[in-house]
Structure 1
Amino acid sequence: MGEVVATIKLMPESPEVDLAQLKETVEQSIPEGTELHKIEEEPIAFGLVALNVMVVVDDGEGGTENAEEAFNQIDDVASVEVLDVRRLM
């Protein structure tokens, strides 16, 4: 077993969502055993901006499931999608 870095895209409910507040909520909802690496904004269209959250997790059972479930619980998040998973050397 080792560690992997995963990029998880969080799509806000609407362009009116306060991204600063959403980032703070994401930081507070990081589950145990998951380390937040960084959060990047990705413009989508018509003022909608997604958050690409990079986390470091153990590649054992479950992998990114805990982080995905935690992010799905956030009120202003419409969808959660794992974009990329890479092993750390």
Structure 2
Amino acid sequence: MGKVYMKLRVMPEDVDIDLEKIYEKIKEVAPENVEIKDYKIQPIAFGLKALLIVAVMPDEGEIGDQLVERIQNIDGVESVEVEATELL
């Protein structure tokens, strides 16, 4: 069984949302076998920024869907988009 690399774009509900706090919450709610490898805050437009997350997880079941669902349930998160997935 391999590992899956997943790149996610997390959009906040408002320009005033602290993306560093959202990142910390993502690390807390991630399933135990998901490793959050990296993140970046990317300017979008008019003060709006997106949080880009890189996660590595085992290639099993619905673990990626679980991660996305848990992130969507964090207060202050508007949406989560999977930008890329790759089998390592």
> Normalising by structure 1, what TM-score?
0.91
Rounded to whole Å, the distance in 2 between the matches of 1:14 and 1:69 is 20
Secondary structure of the corresponding residue to residue 57 of structure 2: strand
Which aligned pairs between 1:10-29 and structure 2 lie closer than 5 A? 10-29=10-29
Matched, 1:59 2:59: yes
Structure 1 residues 49, 35: closer, same or farther in 2, change over 3 A? same
Residue 60 (structure 1) shift: 2.0
Q: Deviations over 1:30-68 (max 9, x none)?
A: 112211111111111111111111100122221411110
Unaligned stretches of 5+ residues in structure 1: none
Rounded to whole Å, the distance in 1 between the matches of 2:52 and 2:20 is 14
Unaligned stretches of 5+ residues in structure 2: none
TM superposition outliers: structure 1 runs of 4+ over 3 Å? none
In structure 2, the residue matched to 1:44 is: 44
Residue 11 (structure 1) shift: 0.3
Aligned identity (percent) is: 35
Aligned length: 88
Structure 1 residues 38, 13: closer, same or farther in 2, change over 3 A? same
Residue 29 (structure 1) shift: 1.5
> Normalising by structure 2, what TM-score?
0.91
